[in-house]
Structure 1
Amino acid sequence: MSNILVTGATGFTGGHLARRLAADGHTVRALVRNPEQAEHLAAAGVAPVPGDLQDPSSLRRAAQGVDTVYHIAALFRPGNATRQELHAVNTQGVQNMLDAAETAGVSRFVHCSTIGVHGSVKNPPADETAPFSPGDDYQNTKLAGEQIAQKYMRENRLPISIFRPAGIYGPGDTRFLKLIGPVKRGRFVMIGSGQTLFHMVYIDDLVNGIILCGTRPKAVGQVFILAGPEIVTLNQLVQIIAKTVDGKPPRLRVPFAPVYWAGFVCEMLCKPIGIQPPLFRRRVDFFRKHRAFSIEKARNMLGYNPQVGLSEGIARTAQWYKEEGLI
């Protein structure tokens, strides 16, 4: 059994990972800014340790005696976050955590990037060598953070593995509610043709893949895409959701271009006065950008084998939403 540090454990992915590692018998620490907000982790056998990605001394203390670091923490597109705030966590925070891990002499370091560094996939399915094309400040700062980790790999300063997860969903996450909720209520509007390719990963499959990145010797020095077993069009995804939650497929379809430019206008009006736009281009791009990926490298090198298909995963997620009174 190992001594493990997980950053981002108060979030969705990091929380699932930390609890799974503790359940497997490892000694798990969770880096948290406010230990009072981590009582649920302590109840699962995870030890909260105070620290902040912008405080290098706290990271050095947290990493002492650790065998493996899983760096999951990130600042994920809060509406009013500035580019500087995103950079401080998603880029400089990576540098700080890597420095602390190197000082502590950890045996493995696993870094969470994002599939968003590839932007819209031009020739799907994309693999790990596809061109980078980040589309916003979040993706740009995540790419910069990954590139710092890759520099450490090239210099052999740490045994590092990097993974780029596809769209993550499952019980405990509410981001997918933005799609399930409108479909359930019969209010989902399809922008464009609906033929955009879409690729997701269920949280349990992702956690399995992350652990493989931190335990398989072949993972060291490599980058892996971690996604689910199915690629579907947006039309197909909405049909699966509608069938699962007894919802209705979209009756209204609108052309892409006018909605995109409406998002542009909203951004121009809202951002200077510090409020989140009701409509913005990144959200509209959801309907246009292909997100379809190959997981063959992870299959072949790690034995990664995602088990949860979309129908089953959406059913589990929708059931949790119902239990929580969200739909």
Structure 2
Amino acid sequence: MTDTDMHALVTGATGFTGGHLARALRRQGHQVRALVRQTDSPAARGLADAGIELVRGDVSDADDIDRAVAGTTHVFHIAAVYRSANHPDSYYMAVNRDSVAHVLASAERHGIERVVHCSTCGVHGDVADLPATEETAFRPGDIYQRSKLAGETLAQRAIAAGAPVSIVRPTGIYGPGDLRFLKLFRGIQNRTFRMVGAGDIAYHMSYIDDLVQGFLLCGSHPGALGETFLIGSDDYTTLNGLVQEIAATLGVQPPRGHIPVAPVMAAASLCETLCRPLGIDPPLHRRRVSFFTKARAFSVDKAKRLIGFEPQVGLAEGLARTADWYRAEGHLRGAPTGIAA
């Protein structure tokens, strides 16, 4: 295959990870198609401006998936519903499990050369023996993780049946364009953040450019066929270490003080009970509190060994790039420092 004859479908391209991946594929000269729910949304228009073909549809609809897959050579299935507490469990399963079945069926029907499925390191849950590897036991702890494991299980079955599938389990994704860590940055800058629990729990980040590198390798490297890879930074840290690095990036003193886990978890449970019947996302929920309680640290040695994956962006540099983007977008105080993205 030459550098220009891949025709790739990316699901979830209006999101953070899928958007970066779709643009990276386009910069490499590939034809890129994105399945989007609304072709007139700002995110979709940005994809179109980057030369990416838009196909309207929903990943939970088998017919929409089939229309999007037809005529492509590669499928990168990135779309997922993440940690929102205002969706029923059935919605998580429809998006994170059933869409995988639709993608795999269409890929077989249309003779797709490679399917790259995005799972999550969260299928391993709270890791006991650090660092975890791809062989570490599954311990999903919430509906997001259970639904992602259900989707990955379908992909693993397809691999066992001979389908050309690769699976990626990203660690905690961050970088310019991501808003999931903005609340943490703001809390540290405003000195309102307090650690829940001791903060010595392990945490593993994945800078977006490194993660995209992993996806691209899984879509092209012969050694990726039929394999599952944890993809993330070279090293992991602790939540205390992450907070200290962010504080250093922002030029503020690290926050002090810790809040016991139990009352916060109780408050989160109460918020869910009150908000769920109203169909609104509670300001605090148990899956968010679990960020402070579950150990996540992984080895990326398999990806290095089999497909040549090499993380390029260390934590300090990645956080600085992210903070610069937050400042440029008006999300944080202060002027950007000029670190290149």
TM bucket normalised to smaller: over 0.9
Q: Deviations over 1:129-164 (max 9, x none)?
A: 1111111111111110110111111111x2000000
Determine the structure 2 residue equivalent to 1:47. 53
1:196 equivalenced with 2:201 (yes/no):
yes
2:312 matched to 1:285? no
Shift >4 Å, 4+ stretches: none
Conserved? CA contact 1:188–1:249, under 8 Å: no
Select 2:13's aligned residue among 2, 6, 9. Answer: 9
Deviation (angstroms), 1:55: 2.4
Deviations 1:66-118 (A, max 9, x none): 11110101112333111111111111111111111111100000000011111
Aligned twin of 1:315: 320
**Partner amino acid for 2:204?**
H
- Partners in 2 of 1:170 and 1:106 — Cα distance? 31
Q: Would you say 1:60 and 2:66 are equivalent positions?
A: yes
- In structure 2, give the amino acid aligned to 1:215: S
- Unaligned 5+ runs, structure 2: 333-341
Which residue does the alignment assign to 1:30? 34
**What aligned pairs does 1:1-327 form with structure 2 within 5 A after superposition?**
1=4, 2-37=6-41, 38-156=44-162, 158-327=163-332
Q: Is there any run of 5+ residues in structure 1 with no aligned partner, and where?
A: none
Q: CA deviation at 1:56?
A: 1.9
Cα offsets for 1:197-233 (capped at 9, x unmatched): 1100000000001100111111111110001122111
Equivalenced residues, count:
326
> Which amino acid is the alignment partner of residue 59 of structure 2?
L
| 161-170 vs 232-241, greater mean Cα deviation | 232-241
Given that 2:86 and 2:282 are in contact with CA atoms closer than 8 Å, whether structure 1 keeps it comes out as no
Judge conservation of contact 2:84–2:281 (CA < 8 Å) in 1.
no
How far did residue 279 of structure 1 move?
Answer: 2.5
TM-score, normalised with respect to structure 2: 0.92
- TM value normalised by structure 1: 0.96
Deviation at 1:43, TM superposition (A): 1.1
Q: Deviations over 1:40-82 (max 9, x none)?
A: 1111111112222232222222212211110101112333111
Q: Is the 8 A contact 1:185 1:248 kept in 2?
A: no
CA distance in structure 2 between the aligned counterparts of 1:243 and 1:163, rounded to whole angstroms: 31
Q: Is the 8 A contact 1:185 1:247 kept in 2?
A: no
Instruction: Sort the Cα spacing of 1:319 and 1:257 in 2 relative to 1 into closer, same or farther, 3 A.
Output: same
Structure 2 residue matching 1:53: 3-state secondary structure: coil
Distance 1:90 1:236 in 2: 31
C-alpha displacement of 1:27: 0.8
Which of 35-44 and 20-29 deviates more?
Answer: 35-44
1:264 positional shift:
2.6
Shift of 1:178: 1.8
Q: Distance in 1 between matches of 2:194 and 2:302?
A: 36
**Are the structure 2 counterparts of residues 294 and 203 from structure 1 closer, same or farther at C-alpha, using a change threshold of 3 Å?**
same
CA RMSD of aligned residues (A): 1.3
